[in-house]
Amino acid sequence: MIIRAFVLQAYRIPSSSMEDTLLKGDHLLATKYTYGLTIPFTTKKLWGADKVPNRGDIIIFTFPVNHSMDFVKRVIALPDETIEIRDKQVYIDGLPYKTGSEKYTDPFVLNQGQGKVRDNYGPVTVKPGHVFVMGDNRDQSYDSRFWGQVPLEYIKGKAFIIYFSWTSSKPWIRFERIGNLIR
């Protein structure tokens, strides 16, 4: 119980929003102390309340719209940085953001009048005490582009390692993913 409260916690990936880094059916461990220690069952920090993730970190956080859910996404922009997306290219403070595992899979069709929020966004400045997150599978991700920035106190941990992975098709267990560090 103490390990789960302060050191490591297990999470399951339920969607394809983080592919190819994390696959649907991956089970991972997250370090809970990386960004400070939180009092269990609250968002209050014992210490480290001012710790900010690095750009590119994959974090687990309380979903700001529904506090009963946890989300896993990649940190794209930090406090006081300006993020803009033009034709699917992300810019941070006017400079192109170098993508790694991120991908776009298909065009996204919005209803008339909604605009192209996935392909074009901002510019928006990240508020102090917040981060802007996106899924690696950008065209299949429900992220900060839709519901806003993540308060630092909502961050629960940093994704660390895949301890189990399965798929609904044979051979069911993806042994080659077990033990992979998450980057």
At 107, list the tokens: 């065009």
Which residue out of 17, 141, 144, 165 is catalytically annotated? 17
Q: Is 44 a catalytic residue?
A: no
Which residue out of 32, 73, 156, 158 is catalytically annotated? 73
Q: Are 76 and 92 in contact (CB under 8 A)?
A: yes
Q: Is 17 a catalytic residue?
A: yes
Which distant-in-sequence residues (6+ apart) come within 8 Å of 95 by Cβ? Answer: none
Distance between CA 157 and CA 151 in Å, rounded?
Answer: 13
CA 17 vs CA 101, 147, 158: distances in Å: 12, 15, 17
Own/partner long-range contacts of 36-42 (Cβ < 8 Å, ≥24 apart)? 37/6, 38/156, 40/5, 40/6
Residues identified as active-site: 17, 73
